[in-house]
């Protein structure tokens, strides 16, 4: 489908996100460091990817005036018992709160 574009990148790279989101209408955020044992062994990388990456997606979507943003979550974010779940809970809260601080932007999170 020519209406869809796919980029290889890293949600921790805000410049790449801004480039990838130019001219985009809808963003589906599915990036995460999702393997619990790997997240526990690499906590800083998990935080950078799942929390800071989510923040980068939000900021890039606002900058590029994306009309709709869909962020995928997990059942592990409800009452988290590990770092992965905790970072996904933080990510979820960032996306929900983005609707409150988006200002005059028409972006819907």
pLDDT digits (tens, 9 = 90+) for 57-103: 999 999 999 999 999 998 878 889 999 999 999 999 999 999 888 88
Q: Is the pTM of this model over 0.75?
A: yes
pLDDT computed for residue 98 by the predictor: 95
Which residue among the candidates 34, 63, 76, 102 is catalytic per the annotation?
76
Residue ranges of domains in the chain, CATH in brackets: 14-101 (3.40.50.720)
Q: Is 76 a catalytic residue?
A: yes
The confidence band for 4, taking pLDDT boundaries of 50, 70 and 90, is confident
| pLDDT, mean over the chain | 94
The DSSP code sequence of 31-92 is -----HHHHHHSHHHHHIIIIIHHHHHHHHHHHTT-SEEEE---GGGSS--SHHHHHHHHHH
Contacts of 7 (CB under 8 A, 6+ apart): 16, 19, 20
């Amino acid at each position: 489908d020519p209406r869809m574009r796919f980029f290889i990148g890293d949600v921790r790279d805000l410049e790449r996100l801004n480039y990838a989101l130019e001219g985009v209408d809808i963003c589906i955020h599915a990036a995460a460091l999702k393997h619990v044992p790997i997240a526990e062994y690499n906590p800083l990388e998990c935080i950078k990817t799942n929390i800071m990456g989510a923040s980068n997606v939000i900021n890039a979507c606002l900058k590029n005036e994306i009309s709709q943003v869909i962020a995928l979550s997990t059942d592990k974010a409800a009452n988290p018992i590990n770092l992965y779940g905790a970072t996904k809970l933080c990510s979820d809260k960032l996306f929900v709160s983005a609707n409150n601080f988006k200002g005059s932007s028409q972006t819907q999170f």
